[in-house]
């Protein structure tokens, strides 16, 4: 276990370093002088000189990289060209929205996906299975942003059941907060639910035909008990695996969902930054996404090895 | 020569009967037939759309903006500039398929050799795994954001961003199939026979890995089509006025309450294309499954 942990930690650290290099090089590949990009409106020679000195742009590249890592580690992502506020404070307001949206979407997807997956496996060859399979295929194929658009059009605008856009912080009014975020979370969760359903179904089919389930049935355990006991453990593994693998898709999905529902999160900040050529913000977004992905996946692997002890032995999360 | 008959078992005559068996299974699956017909039709329409489309995509008609579906001459209605929705959908679908194929081609060209190398040469495995981890850390949308910042938004950059994001998936399936094939007798026989690594990879492993690559491609294309729609919707992909299903939805969003059809049809087409690929991909995987009719 300790060995596996160490290997994974070292691999994650290496990937983190590599992705920082990629972003560092990427920033230097931006069109034009980076000092010019960082300067924004004030492009006087003195201002440019000050920026070059502040960001060490007059130093050799390895020194620049070391300084860069130091600044990022301290949370100094520079100042937004557009708003003039530090990128770090923009992140502090935007991130909670995205985290709440994503966590809620994962919960909804897990509930729907596991439920439908178990149902499809148990009711094999019956209409319930076809329905669940069909819905999963549609969930995989439907563009969520379009689903969001239709939801706004037919649920929010037409009936007024949900607000069409906007956001209320959870600390200000938890009920209103949920009212604003539940529809976007359902939309974001659909794709994930479809993947979880398909994986749950096949994991359930495998375990239902396995020897230990046959033994459990032979012992006289009620079918319901067999299903719940084995389904629960297996589906936990499925959900953790799928969330780990689909994290990238989830982040991409959150960006689009926020854009459609006008949620002031990480995604909206990203898209606005691209169109306003707000390079410090883009840089922070790309770097932080990579870091978050690497760190979360490290913890997913840890969790995985806790749920499924076989992983610790082989060291290879399949 | 007796040694050589072993390798032929999986590369020669046997694969022909296997191919006919797979095709027969596909033909017997109604979902496979329907999805294939849909895809073939979509392909033909996309190829011929510049000639088939009833109107030019940027032909505006300000006397007839927001014409509802069924209006004479405009089967699916018109948009805010009086442009024919059907014509724009046809050319938009063409662009979607283009991006889908381009992205998947990008991921295969880079991913297949890396997957083969990772599975075949032990020393390369760790290095390629780190490369895969690195790629995974940048979700396609974030990759597209970075590319758009550096090189500007375009159809090509969208396809490249999606393709790069799909490389890890290709590496994973090709690597594990290479590991499986490497342990089989016919590969060992070829090695004993003095075949070089490159020869073994090109003649014995790659041909036998085509089925997993094919399945991977059929699930990657719909993902790429959805990805293109997302990027174009956000303005990071195909740039207006060029028709794209994603940009059509972005403009339609602004007047969705007034002309809902403009927001409905492009989405239905994106979903239809992706669904057809996904259904066909499922059927193909089942047909290729040596375990037979287990679904």
> Is domain A90-315 given the CATH code 3.30.70.1560 in the classification?
no
Contact between residue A196 and residue A114 where contact means Cβ atoms under 8 Å apart: yes
Task: Assess whether the previous peptide bond of A5 is cis (omega < 30° from 0).
Answer: no
Separation in Å, CA A43 to CA A37, A39, A169, A203:
9, 6, 38, 60
Sketch the domain layout of chain A as residue ranges: 2-59, 90-315
Q: What distance in Å separates the CA atoms of residue B72 and residue B217, rounded to the nearest whole number? A: 41
Bridge partners of B84, per DSSP, are B78
Q: Quote the pLDDT of residue A105.
A: 94
Contact between residue A257 and residue A145 where contact means Cβ atoms under 8 Å apart: yes
- Give the DSSP per-residue string, B168-220: HHHHHHHHHHHHHHHTSHHHHHHHHTT--HHHIIIIIIHHHHHHHHHHHHHHH
Stretch A224-242: mean pLDDT: 74
Contact between residue A243 and residue A44 where contact means Cβ atoms under 8 Å apart: no
Q: In 3D, which of A279, A277, A259 has the Cα closest to residue A267?
A: A259
- Asked if A82 is an interface residue toward chain B (Cβ–Cβ < 8 A), one would say no
Bridge partners of B71, per DSSP, are B74
Per-block mean pLDDT, blocks of 10 residues, chain B (295 long): 43 64 86 91 87 77 74 74 83 90 95 93 89 89 84 87 92 91 85 85 87 89 92 87 86 80 88 92 84 51
Contact between residue B102 and residue B57 where contact means Cβ atoms under 8 Å apart: no
Instruction: Determine the 3-state secondary structure of B84 from DSSP.
Output: strand
pLDDT, chain A, mean: 82
Q: What distance in Å separates the CA atoms of residue B72 and residue A100, rounded to the nearest whole number? A: 48
Q: What distance in Å separates the CA atoms of residue B223 and residue B218, rounded to the nearest whole number? A: 9
Contact between residue A275 and residue A84 where contact means Cβ atoms under 8 Å apart: no
Q: Quote the pLDDT of residue A37.
A: 65
* pLDDT band (50, 70, 90) for residue A34: low
Q: Quote the pLDDT of residue B2.
A: 42
DSSP letter, residue A59: S
Other CB atoms within a 10 A radius of the CB of residue A116 amount to 25
Question: Which residue matches tokens 């960082």?
Answer: A38
Q: Quote the pLDDT of residue A309.
A: 66
Question: Which residue matches tokens 């096949």?
Answer: A202
Q: Quote the pLDDT of residue A283.
A: 85
pLDDT at A227 over 90: no
> Ranked by mean pLDDT, which of A34-38, A239-243, B1-5, B154-158 comes out on top?
B154-158
More confident residue, A254 or A42: A254
Residues of A in contact with B148 (CB under 8 A): 274
Q: On the CB side of A35, how many CA atoms lie within 13 Å of its CA?
A: 16
Residues of B in contact with A11 (CB under 8 A): 129-130, 133
Q: Quote the pLDDT of residue A231.
A: 62
- Condensed to tens digits (0 to 9), the pLDDT of residues A263-288 reads 888 888 888 888 887 878 888 888 88
Q: Quote the pLDDT of residue B1.
A: 40
> What is the distance in angstroms between the Cα of A286 and the nearest Cα belonging to chain B?
6
pLDDT at A211 over 80: no
> Lowest-confidence range among A132-136, A305-309, B194-198?
A305-309
A254: nearest CA in chain B? Answer: B141
Q: Quote the pLDDT of residue B40.
A: 92
Q: What distance in Å separates the CA atoms of residue B66 and residue B69, rounded to the nearest whole number? A: 9
- Asked if A159 is an interface residue toward chain B (Cβ–Cβ < 8 A), one would say no
* pLDDT band (50, 70, 90) for residue A153: confident
Phi, psi of B67, rounded to the nearest 5 degrees: -70, 130
> What is the distance in angstroms between the Cα of B194 and the nearest Cα belonging to chain A?
33
Q: Quote the pLDDT of residue B18.
A: 75
């Amino acid at each position: 276990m300790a060995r596996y942990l160490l290997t994974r930690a070292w691999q994650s650290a290496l990937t983190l370093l590599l992705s920082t290099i990629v972003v560092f090089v990427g920033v230097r590949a931006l069109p034009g002088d980076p000092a010019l990009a960082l300067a924004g409106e004030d492009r006087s020679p003195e201002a440019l000189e000050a920026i070059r000195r502040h960001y060490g742009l007059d130093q050799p590249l390895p020194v620049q990289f070391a300084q860069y890592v130091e600044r990022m580690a301290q949370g100094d992502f520079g100042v937004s060209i557009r708003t003039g506020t530090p990128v770090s404070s923009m992140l502090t307001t935007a991130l909670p929205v995205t985290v709440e949206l994503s966590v809620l979407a994962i919960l909804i997807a897990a509930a729907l996906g596991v439920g439908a997956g178990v149902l499809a496996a148990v009711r094999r060859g019956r209409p319930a299975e076809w329905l669940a399979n069909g819905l999963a295929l549609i969930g995989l194929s439907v563009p969520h942003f379009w689903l969001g658009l239709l939801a706004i059009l037919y649920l929010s605008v037409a009936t007024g059941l949900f607000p069409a856009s906007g956001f209320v912080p959870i600390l200000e009014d938890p009920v209103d907060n949920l009212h604003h975020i539940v529809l976007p979370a359902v939309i974001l969760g659909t794709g994930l639910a479809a993947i979880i359903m398909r994986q749950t179904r096949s994991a359930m089919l495998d375990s239902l035909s396995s020897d230990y389930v046959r033994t459990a049935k032979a012992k006289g355990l009620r079918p319901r008990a067999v299903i719940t006991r084995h389904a629960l453990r297996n589906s936990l593994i499925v959900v953790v695996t799928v969330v780990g693998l689909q994290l990238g898709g989830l982040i991409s999905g959150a960006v689009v969902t926020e854009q459609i529902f006008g949620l002031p999160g990480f995604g909206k900040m990203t898209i606005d930054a691209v169109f306003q050529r707000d390079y410090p913000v883009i840089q922070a977004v790309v770097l932080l996404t990579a870091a978050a992905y690497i760190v979360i996946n490290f913890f997913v692997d840890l969790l995985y090895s806790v749920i499924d002890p076989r992983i610790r032995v082989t060291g290879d999360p399949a | 020569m007796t040694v050589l008959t072993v390798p032929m078992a999986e590369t020669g005559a046997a694969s022909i009967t296997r191919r006919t068996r797979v095709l027969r299974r596909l033909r017997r699956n109604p979902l496979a037939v329907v999805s294939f017909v849909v895809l073939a039709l979509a392909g033909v329409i996309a190829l011929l759309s510049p000639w088939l489309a009833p109107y030019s995509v940027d032909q505006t008609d300000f006397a007839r903006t927001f014409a509802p579906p069924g209006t004479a001459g405009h089967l699916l209605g018109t948009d805010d500039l009086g442009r024919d929705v059907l014509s724009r959908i046809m050319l938009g679908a063409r662009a979607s398929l283009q991006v889908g194929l381009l992205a998947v081609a990008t991921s295969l060209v880079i991913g297949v050799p890396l997957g083969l190398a990772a599975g075949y040469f032990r020393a390369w495995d760790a290095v390629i795994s780190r490369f895969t981890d690195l790629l995974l850390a940048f979700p396609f949308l974030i990759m597209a954001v970075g590319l758009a910042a550096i090189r500007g938004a375009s159809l090509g950059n969208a396809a490249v961003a999606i393709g790069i994001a799909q490389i890890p998936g290709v590496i994973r399936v090709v690597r594990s199939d290479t590991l499986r094939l490497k342990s089989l007798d016919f590969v060992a026989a070829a090695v004993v026979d003095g075949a070089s690594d490159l020869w073994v990879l090109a003649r014995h492993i790659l041909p036998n890995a085509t089925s997993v690559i094919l399945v991977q491609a059929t699930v990657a294309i719909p993902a790429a089509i959805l990805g293109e729609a997302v990027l174009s919707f956000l303005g990071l992909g195909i740039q207006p006025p060029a028709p794209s299903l994603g940009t059509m939805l972005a403009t339609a969003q602004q007047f969705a309450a007034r002309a809902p059809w403009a927001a409905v049809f492009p989405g239905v087409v994106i979903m239809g294309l992706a669904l057809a690929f996904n259904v066909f991909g499922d059927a193909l995987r089942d047909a290729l499954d040596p375990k037979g009719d287990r679904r």
